[in-house]
């Protein structure tokens, strides 16, 4: 009897589970499928890539937003994607549901920079890297680098005196040298020329066809990458032998108790140079342009910087900048913010949905790319009135939440933002107090590749102020 009762309970439990499973299946499958966001997918495979890149990409995005609203679908670079441009949607993708959207890059870029680099990863490994990178780039980590940054800024500006130069190329040299300083400290100076030679070959292949045959750009790039990793290994070896702590990114990677492999360290160093150099150089180039087009803003920045020089002279302090000085630059800092907004050099970023995701009644299918459109958020009149106008004073009032995100947001947001602002501020201090410059040639074109840049990298001529405006000779009254 007991046996029959047990069997009865067993079978009725199995039956109940089966029934429940069928009911769940019935209700979920009969639920109406969510619609995809509005928009068009263009031609098979090529999608709308041609429309995007045959014109200013911002025209493509702005016309889509106007037509379909802040969420729409498209198909670019061989991938179906959903583009989003409301602050709430961007927060959803980058912050609150970040685990549903993984970072994604073309496989060739991953091979070139190294698949262990921070931006390609998620989860525990990413969190560990992020802690180590942040440790080197927080205000505490970079405070003591101000005087080194200052001497690099001075050398850079001096090297431009009187010459016709491509601002972007020159700023890339400046930001490269700062990147080396923050990664390798003194060792960066020692190996600077070799690191520069290899990195410059590596970057040439960055946008090339990923064909790894002798003689191709991609092949040369991969070889340069190997050589870079060997230089890093050499520096690692000599630091291990000396057993000394270093206050730089390499020191932070080496000090980690859990231990990163040499390969992981090399991938992340190449990755940080890549993330740090062209971004900051583009922003600096735009600042040169905006300041030359807005004389009253240039005047205000110059006065603010001259006041810092004067106060040092009055107190009999050394003429070198300190971290505290860089915090006394409210006008300069608003100019940097406004440049980051107007230029929006990273117009968007890429993520990929790791599962089907519902957002505001729309389906974002698993495997589709999701593009938060930073530039459209920065140029929406709802977030920034008269958005095309360069007006640093708008930052006297803090922007609304999630509307100003030049450094991204959430788990992959930029860990180098403090360093970027510091190196820009220091260069602006010396630029505005000692130099004047004039833009040469056409001034309105913009080139894209991959960052938005003034046409031809903004050719300028730079003069020492006292040379450019010779003081008029005193008129000696005749008797």
Stretch that binds ligand HEM, among 220-228, 303-311, 406-414, 454-462 (CB under 6 A): 406-414
Which residue is nearest to ligand HEM, using beta carbons? 416
Which residue has 């090339």 as its token pair?
Answer: 208
Site string for ligand HEM, 42-61 (x = CB under 6 A): --------------------
Residue of the chain from 37, 141, 392, 415 that contacts ligand HEM (CB under 6 A):
415
Of the chain, the end-to-end C-alpha distance in Å amounts to 138
Helix (H) or strand (E) segment spanning residue 352 = strand 351-353
- Which has the closest alpha carbon to 339: 424, 276, 273, 403? 424
| Closest CB 470 distance from ligand HEM, rounded Å | 36
Total interface residues for ligand HEM by CB under 6 A: 26
Q: Does residue 353 belong to the site contacting ligand HEM (CB under 6 A)?
A: no
**Cβ proximity of 61 and 350 under 8 Å:** no
* 414 marked as binding residue: yes
| Burial class of 64 by CB neighbour count within 10 A (0 to 12, 13 to 18, 19+) | buried
| Closest CB 424 distance from ligand HEM, rounded Å | 7
- Which has the closest alpha carbon to 249: 184, 192, 188? 184
| Alpha-carbon span 20 to 446, nearest angstrom | 61
Q: Does residue 119 belong to the site contacting ligand HEM (CB under 6 A)?
A: yes
Structure tokens at 4: 């029959």
| Closest CB 250 distance from ligand HEM, rounded Å | 13
Q: Does residue 73 belong to the site contacting ligand HEM (CB under 6 A)?
A: no
Q: Does residue 362 belong to the site contacting ligand HEM (CB under 6 A)?
A: no
| Alpha-carbon span 265 to 233, nearest angstrom | 9
Looking at the Cβ atoms of 22 and 413, the one nearer to ligand HEM is 413
Looking at the Cβ atoms of 6 and 413, the one nearer to ligand HEM is 413
Q: Does residue 84 belong to the site contacting ligand HEM (CB under 6 A)?
A: no
- Which has the closest alpha carbon to 72: 42, 95, 31, 108? 42
**Cβ proximity of 275 and 257 under 8 Å:** no
| Closest CB 105 distance from ligand HEM, rounded Å | 9
DSSP assignments along 212-258, one per residue: -STTSHHHHHHHHHHHHHHHHHHHHHHHHHHT---SSHHHHHHH-TT
Structure tokens at 335: 């100019």
Looking at the Cβ atoms of 341 and 434, the one nearer to ligand HEM is 341
Which residue(s) pair with 373 in the sheet?
348
Residue of the chain from 406, 454, 457, 459 that contacts ligand HEM (CB under 6 A):
406
Residue of the chain from 224, 232, 254, 414 that contacts ligand HEM (CB under 6 A):
414
User: Could you give the 3-state DSSP secondary structure of residue 79?
Assistant: strand
Site string for ligand HEM, 255-284 (x = CB under 6 A): -----------------x--xx--xx--x-
Looking at the Cβ atoms of 51 and 339, the one nearer to ligand HEM is 339
Q: Does residue 115 belong to the site contacting ligand HEM (CB under 6 A)?
A: no
Q: Does residue 426 belong to the site contacting ligand HEM (CB under 6 A)?
A: no
Q: How far is CA 128 from the centre of its chain?
A: 20
Task: Provide the binding-site residues for ligand HEM, judged by CB under 6 A.
Answer: 103, 118-119, 130, 133, 137, 182, 272, 275-276, 279-280, 283, 345-346, 349, 406-408, 412-416, 419-420
Annotated binding site for heme: 414
Annotated binding site: 414
């Amino acid at each position: 009897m007991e046996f029959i009762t047990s069997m009865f309970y067993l079978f009725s439990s199995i039956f109940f589970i089966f029934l429940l499973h069928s009911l769940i299946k019935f209700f979920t499958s009969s639920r109406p499928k969510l619609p995809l966001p509005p928009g068009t997918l263009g031609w098979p495979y090529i999608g709308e890539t041609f429309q995007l890149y045959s014109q200013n990409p911002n025209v493509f995005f702005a016309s889509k937003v106007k037509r379909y609203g802040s969420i729409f679908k498209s198909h670019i670079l061989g991938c179906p994607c959903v583009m989003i441009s409301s602050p709430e949607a961007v927060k959803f993708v980058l912050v609150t549901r970040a685990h549903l959207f993984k970072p994604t890059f073309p496989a060739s870029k991953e091979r070139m920079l190294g698949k262990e680099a921070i931006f390609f990863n998620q989860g525990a490994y990413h969190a560990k890297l992020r802690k180590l990178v942040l440790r080197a780039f927080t205000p505490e980590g970079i405070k003591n680098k101000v005087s080194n940054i200052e001497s690099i800024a001075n050398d850079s500006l001096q090297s431009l005196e009187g010459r016709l130069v491509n601002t972007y190329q020159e700023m890339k040299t400046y930001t490269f040298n700062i990147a080396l300083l923050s990664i390798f400290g003194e060792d960066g100076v020692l190996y600077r020329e070799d690191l520069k030679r290899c990195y410059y070959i590596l970057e040439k292949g960055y946008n090339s066809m990923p064909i790894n045959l002798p003689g191709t750009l991609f092949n040369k790039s991969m070889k340069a990458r190997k050589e870079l990793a060997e230089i890093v290994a050499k520096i690692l070896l000599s630091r291990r032998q000396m057993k000394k702590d270093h206050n730089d990114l390499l020191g932070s990677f080496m000090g980690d108790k859990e231990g990163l492999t040499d390969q992981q360290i090399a991938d992340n160093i190449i990755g940080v140079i890549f993330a740090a150099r062209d971004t900051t150089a583009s922003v600096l180039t735009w600042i040169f342009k905006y300041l030359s087009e807005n004389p009253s803003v240039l005047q205000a920045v110059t006065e603010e910087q001259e006041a810092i020089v004067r106060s040092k002279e009055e107190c009999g302090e050394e003429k070198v900048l300190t971290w505290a000085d860089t915090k006394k630059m409210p006008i300069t800092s608003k100019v940097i913010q406004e440049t980051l907004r107007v230029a929006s050099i990273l117009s968007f970023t890429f993520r990929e949905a790791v599962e089907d995701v519902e957002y505001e009644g729309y389906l974002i299918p698993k495997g589709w790319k999701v593009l938060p459109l930073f530039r459209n958020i920065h140029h929406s009149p709802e977030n920034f009135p008269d958005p095309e106008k360069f007006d640093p004073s708008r930052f006297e009032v803090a922007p609304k939440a999630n509307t100003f995100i030049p450094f991204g947001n959430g788990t992959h947001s930029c860990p180098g933002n403090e360093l970027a602002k510091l190196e820009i501020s220091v260069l602006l201090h010396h630029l505005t107090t000692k130099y004047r410059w004039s833009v040469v040639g056409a001034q309105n074109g913009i080139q894209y590749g991959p960052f938005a840049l003034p046409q031809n990298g903004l050719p300028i001529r730079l003069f020492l102020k006292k040379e450019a405006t010779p003081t008029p000779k005193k008129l000696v009254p005749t008797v």
